[in-house]
Amino acid sequence: MRSFRAENLSALVKNIIDINIPEAQKNYEILKDKYPIVITRDLTKAKKWLKTMARGSERYGIVASSQAYRLKPLGIDVRVQINPILWFLNGKEDVRSSYYLEDVATEFDIQGLELDWTCVTWNGDLRMTKNGWDFNSFVGSKWQKINKEERKQYLKNAYRVLLTRARQGMVIVVPAGDDEDPTRNPKYYKGIYDYLKSIGITEI
């Protein structure tokens, strides 16, 4: 099962990042019954899904890009450094543990490690447009385009890490955005949500 998951999830994530929709659709069809992957616009729904799916001591948590600064209005602040030992090992009664679904781990915290179930929370740093990926960095009080190829590759790799950390399954949250907040313009998120839906990923 672990080998099945690792091989097929790796292929799915590669094809998502490479924008190879036909192959990603095939990968998802192979995976979906044994390894649930769902999407939502609602973080509260995502948290409930995690708790419903996890059995016994199976561990779950929220992960996000280290550049996802504008998740802060959702209560997700990637600038707050977690204690990895407490986050990965402590029990459900500890507010510092991953189980509490308050503190978020970034690609730096979780690289090389796994949870049973993850909530991958997407932000406006990596957007999907009709021309492909749009790479952005939040500096000061506004988004700036990323133009250097190595930084673009780094951001794609960050999402590759985030999307491959779950042993059992994951929920991907793509926020709805806010018309009154120019740093969270709904159009930043709509493209990625529509893209993931086009692969066939189930909505909850």
**CATH number assigned to the domain comprising residue 100:** 3.40.50
Beta strands in the chain (DSSP E): 37-40, 60-64, 104-105, 115-121, 126-129, 132-139, 142-145, 166-173, 202-203
Can you give the pLDDT at residue 4?
61
Asked whether residue 18 is domain-assigned, the answer is no
> Where in the sequence is the domain holding 151, given as residue range(s)?
37-203
Measured from the Cβ of residue 181, the count of other Cβ atoms closer than 10 Å reads 11
Residue 24 lies in a domain: no
Does any domain span residue 80?
yes
The dihedral built from the CA positions of residue 150, 152, 158 and 160, taken in this order, carries a sign that is negative
- Model pLDDT, residue 111: 86
Contact indicator for 80, 52 with CB cutoff of 8 Å: no
Say if 148 falls within a structural domain: yes
- Residue 157 in any domain: the answer is yes
* Percent of the chain topping pLDDT 90: 93
Q: Is residue 128 part of a domain?
A: yes
* Neighbour count for residue 131 (Cβ, 10 Å): 6
When divided into structural domains, the chain yields a total of: 1
HEC profile for 125-173? CEEEECCEEEEEEEECCEEEECCCHHHHHHHHHHHHHHCCCEEEEEEEE
Asked whether residue 8 is domain-assigned, the answer is no
Q: Looking at residue 7, what is its pLDDT?
A: 77
Within a domain: 15 = no
pLDDT at 1 over 70: no
Percent of the chain whose pLDDT exceeds 70: 98
Cβ neighbors of 73 (< 8 A, separation 6 or more) are: 178, 181, 184
Give the rounded distance of the alpha carbon of 164 from its chain centre: 9
Distances, alpha carbon 101 to alpha carbons 10, 63, 104, 112, 184, in Å: 25, 10, 7, 20, 22
Show Cβ contacts of residue 78 under 8 Å, excluding neighbours closer than 6 positions. Answer: 64, 65, 66, 67, 68, 69, 71, 104, 106
Residue (of 35, 11, 33, 7) closest to 24 by Cα position: 11
Pairwise CA distance, residues 189 & 124, whole Å: 6
> What pLDDT, on the 0 to 100 scale, is given for residue 201?
96
Identity at 19, one-letter amino acid code: I
Reported as a single tens digit per residue, the pLDDT across 129-183 is 999 999 999 999 999 999 999 999 999 999 999 999 999 999 999 999 999 999 9
